[in-house]
A and B are shown apart, each in its own frame.
Chain A
Amino acid sequence: MRHGVARFVTGFLALPLGLYLFYVVWPFLQAAGYSLTDWGGYSDRQQFVGLENYIRLFSDELIRKAFWHNVFFLVTVPLFTIALALFLAFLLNVGGREDRAGVRGVFGSGLYKVIFFFPQVLSLVVIAVMWQQIYRADGQGLINGVLMKIGLINSDDPITFMYDPEPFLGVPAVLWWLLLIAVWSGAGFYMVLFSAAMQSIPKDIFEAAILDGASRFHTFFRITLPLLRDTVSVAWVYLGFIALDMFALVYIMTPSQGGPNHASEIFASVINFNAFQKGQFGYACAIAVALAIFTILLAALQLRITRRERIEY
């Protein structure tokens, strides 16, 4: 019998684990190894250079830029997406007739939820290519076209979107435009998530609050929102990962994948640039390892901060 179990376990694990080790784990380990060499990627010549790549990393102007751009997304993407999603969920759920307790939903809330969720099922590539057309820097673009029509901007002086490295609030304008896309595509999903969490709060809590004379604004801010804390912090962690992964937008939409003039570089685009355009695989791997360490530290930090006793109901 014991023997049978061992054979069964091995049989079930062999294939998935093998695939995973070969296509996921092994490349990761190799990357860590290559990061200590000066391998160019196209030749077989590679020399062990120790930590040289890592030392170089700290004085690389491009990496410093990419780091701050990543930090920018890391703060703004979750902040704006969650704020907007909560606001939409609030409007959707707190409105409606008042004869019943708190979470009920305005008329047509089902339809709104279906529509707001649309961007979530579209691929990043579709979203990027679509927004490329919306952001066109001439009258043919959707935004420029509309603004010209209502006379808000002059047709000789359109908004240049992806070609605009001028800082706005200290951050290149192109990053703000990318942020807008990220928020546009994420808000609906998190709104649905928050709505579901709101609806899972038991009705008797709201009934008790209403008996005590609380208005729906009070019930929302004093009861619903605190009980959503768990969901919001999970959302924050997930959005953090999404913020680190803005590469699809940068790759497809910005000039020379990180431009103009490196104004929209992020970690991923710097790795791509060094590995496939400058042919410095060893150095690219060192950047990637640094990014991985950064990610893991960040994930650990977020779990630490957001950990809190769950409220059971």
Chain B
Amino acid sequence: MSTVTHTPGGPAGPDQAPPARRTPGQRTGGGGGRTGARIFNGFSHLFLAVWGVMVVYPLLWVVMSALKTDAEVIRKPLSLLPERLQWDNFARAWTEGHIGSFFLNTVLVLTGSVFLTMLLGSMAAYVLARYEFPGNRLIYYTFLSGLTLPIYLAAVPLFKGVYNIGFAFPPLGPNKHLMLILVYVAWSLAFTVFFMHSFFRTLPTAIAEAAMVDGASHSRLFFSVMLPMAKPGLISIGIFNVLGQWNQWYLPTLLMQSVAGEPKNQVISQGLIELSVNQGYRSDWSGLFAGVTMAMLPVLVVYIVFQRQVQSGLTAGVGK
């Protein structure tokens, strides 16, 4: 299948007939017969650069539009250079658009939920991977099944369930941070357990046995020996969970609606949706662009700093 998709775009022409049979000695030699390679390299760079621009230009456009006045956004929508930098767009989105409080809510929820996801997820994965007991497979497959079922199936009863608990125990009701933390943890467990399970399986047993001989208890063994050994796996799945939960929008939209008078506990994704809906009435374009920029830049900066870890963390999630 892929062969077909490639040939039309590929510059197969110029290089199709390579200098027949080259001996190993020749290939270290210089210049001759390299025009095809040069053309190909040029073409590569051209196409790669075009795609690079297609990725970067919209992002840059959003950031630059966030620094314009509203009039400028309308008059000169395409220019990437604002006449004067309007930093107060950010201030307005931060306070009036509530991005500030949405931001803090997200950080608050994520601190709890990522920590708990990692802790509970690796505990469950560890026990399932390394201890034999009746029901082990059943529990493992129960966790696994959560990977294939679409979240929309659970939406209605989940909403109802959270609503009902709210009557009995308000901190776990709708529009509460603690509730969202627990829901995030529960919904992240399936993949975390799946991932860490395969990781704990690969750890050598000899060290565990040595620790047991030295008199370590089971939980001591887990916290001081196995968990530190699983660090590479924890980093990968940690990055995966941070990004996944930061980007979560469906669960909060479902469960974090504030009724009039209640404090606004929404997270950043909801804030952006709200901003983009309201902007239609108030036409505060620059404020919207500022909001998107503020939601976008922290993640991008973290990514650029830790790009190697983020790339390998996220791709490892698929590779398993």
Does A301 reach chain B (CB closer than 8 Å)? no
For the complex formed, measure the closest distance between the CB of B226 and the CB atoms of chain A, giving whole angstroms. Answer: 12
Does B231 reach chain A (CB closer than 8 Å)? no
Q: Which of B120, B123, B146 has the most CB of A within 10 A?
A: B120
- A-B contacts, CB under 8 A, total: 294
- How far does the alpha carbon of A267 sit from the alpha carbon of B311 in the complex, in Å? 31
Q: Are A296's CB and B123's CB within 8 A?
A: no
For the complex formed, measure the closest distance between the CB of B224 and the CB atoms of chain A, giving whole angstroms. Answer: 15
Across-interface contacts of A88 in B (CB, < 8 A): 47-48, 51
Q: Which residues 2-16 of B have a CB within 8 angstroms of A?
A: 2-3, 5-6, 9-10, 12, 15-16
Q: Are B190's CB and A284's CB within 8 A?
A: no
Q: Are A225's CB and B2's CB within 8 A?
A: yes
- How far does the alpha carbon of A261 sit from the alpha carbon of B185 in the complex, in Å? 37
Please classify how large the interface on chain B is, using the bins under 10, 10 to 19, 20 to 34, 35 or more. 35 or more
Q: Are B187's CB and A296's CB within 8 A?
A: no
Q: Are B187's CB and A184's CB within 8 A?
A: no
Q: A117-B307, A122-B299 are in contact. Are A146 and B78 (CB under 8 A)?
A: yes
Q: Which residues 46-100 of B have a CB within 8 angstroms of A?
A: 47-48, 51-52, 54-56, 58-59, 61-62, 65, 73-74, 77-78
Q: Which residues 111-170 of B have a CB within 8 angstroms of A?
A: 120-121, 123-124, 126-128, 131, 133, 139, 142-143, 146, 148-150, 152-158, 160-161
Q: Are B59's CB and A215's CB within 8 A?
A: no
Does A8 reach chain B (CB closer than 8 Å)? yes
Please classify how large the interface on chain A is, using the bins under 10, 10 to 19, 20 to 34, 35 or more. 35 or more
Does A227 reach chain B (CB closer than 8 Å)? no
Does A12 reach chain B (CB closer than 8 Å)? yes
For the complex formed, measure the closest distance between the CB of B235 and the CB atoms of chain A, giving whole angstroms. Answer: 16
- How far does the alpha carbon of A16 sit from the alpha carbon of B187 in the complex, in Å? 11
Across-interface contacts of B21 in A (CB, < 8 A): 213
Across-interface contacts of B78 in A (CB, < 8 A): 142, 145-146, 149
Question: Closest residue of chain A to B243, judged by CB?
Answer: A121
Q: Are A184's CB and B54's CB within 8 A?
A: yes
* Majority secondary structure of chain A interface residues (helix, strand, loop or mixed): helix
Question: Closest residue of chain A to B54, judged by CB?
Answer: A184
Does B27 reach chain A (CB closer than 8 Å)? yes
- How far does the alpha carbon of A77 sit from the alpha carbon of B290 in the complex, in Å? 30
Across-interface contacts of B222 in A (CB, < 8 A): 12
Does A133 reach chain B (CB closer than 8 Å)? yes
Across-interface contacts of A117 in B (CB, < 8 A): 303, 307, 310-311
Q: Which residues 238-282 of A have a CB within 8 angstroms of B?
A: 238, 244-245, 247-248, 252, 267-268, 271-272, 275, 281
Q: Are A15's CB and B120's CB within 8 A?
A: yes
Does B304 reach chain A (CB closer than 8 Å)? yes
Question: Closest residue of chain B to A212, judged by CB?
Answer: B21
Does A96 reach chain B (CB closer than 8 Å)? yes
- How far does the alpha carbon of A116 sit from the alpha carbon of B192 in the complex, in Å? 26
Q: A268-B150, A295-B149 are in contact. Are A92 and B311 (CB under 8 A)?
A: no
Q: A188-B55, A196-B315 are in contact. Are A86 and B133 (CB under 8 A)?
A: no
Q: Are B48's CB and A19's CB within 8 A?
A: no
Does B273 reach chain A (CB closer than 8 Å)? yes
Q: Are A106's CB and B48's CB within 8 A?
A: yes
Does B249 reach chain A (CB closer than 8 Å)? yes
For the complex formed, measure the closest distance between the CB of A58 and the CB atoms of chain B, giving whole angstroms. Answer: 19
Q: Are B149's CB and A292's CB within 8 A?
A: yes
Q: Are B51's CB and A247's CB within 8 A?
A: no
Across-interface contacts of B246 in A (CB, < 8 A): 123
Contacts A8-B218, A19-B186, A129-B288 known; 12 new A-B pairs at CB < 8 A: A9-B131, A23-B161, A25-B142, A28-B153, A98-B34, A108-B45, A123-B295, A125-B295, A141-B77, A234-B319, A271-B155, A295-B148
Q: Which residues of A contact B (CB under 8 A)?
A: 4-6, 8-9, 11-13, 15-17, 19-28, 30-31, 34, 41, 82-83, 86-88, 90-92, 94-96, 98-99, 106-108, 112-126, 129-134, 139-142, 145-146, 149, 184, 187-189, 192-193, 196, 210-211, 213, 215-218, 221, 225, 231-232, 234-235, 238, 244-245, 247-248, 252, 267-268, 271-272, 275, 281, 284-285, 288-289, 291-292, 295-296, 299
A-B residue pairs, 4 tightest by C-beta: A123-B247, A215-B18, A23-B186, A27-B154
Q: List 10 A-B contacts (CB under 8 A).
A: A5-B131, A20-B146, A22-B161, A31-B157, A87-B9, A107-B41, A115-B55, A184-B55, A188-B55, A296-B149
